[in-house]
Amino acid sequence: MLDMDGFGKLLIFIGIILVLAGILFVFGAKIPWLGKLPGDIYIKKENFTFYFPLATSILLSIALSIIMLFMGRKS
């Protein structure tokens, strides 16, 4: 069970993640390389389109892992 101090930190962390996600949704289209990296799979046929941002997902996963590593360290 979380004490009040831990619960407060958890709420702050969730708030920061939501703010960052909102910024990404608002300004994501203005980042020209996001979603168009080499390694992103894009297949288009006459009435079928398949898009899987593999390289973009890996890059975002690495960035989030580094952020979580630094946030999880105890002083």
Residue 65: pLDDT over 70? yes
Q: How far apart are CA 65 and CA 60, in angstroms?
A: 8
pLDDT at 57 over 60: yes
The pLDDT assigned to 73 comes to: 67
The residue with tokens 């973009």 is 56
Give the pLDDT confidence score for residue 12 in this predicted structure.
85
User: pLDDT tens-digit profile of 15-51?
Assistant: 888 888 888 778 877 777 777 888 899 899 999 999 9
- Domain range annotation of the chain: 1-30, 32-75
Q: Where are the alpha helices (DSSP H) in the chain?
A: 4-27, 54-72
Residues 29 and 64: their CA atoms lie apart, in Å, by 20
Judged against a pLDDT cut of 90, whether residue 7 lies above it is answered with: no
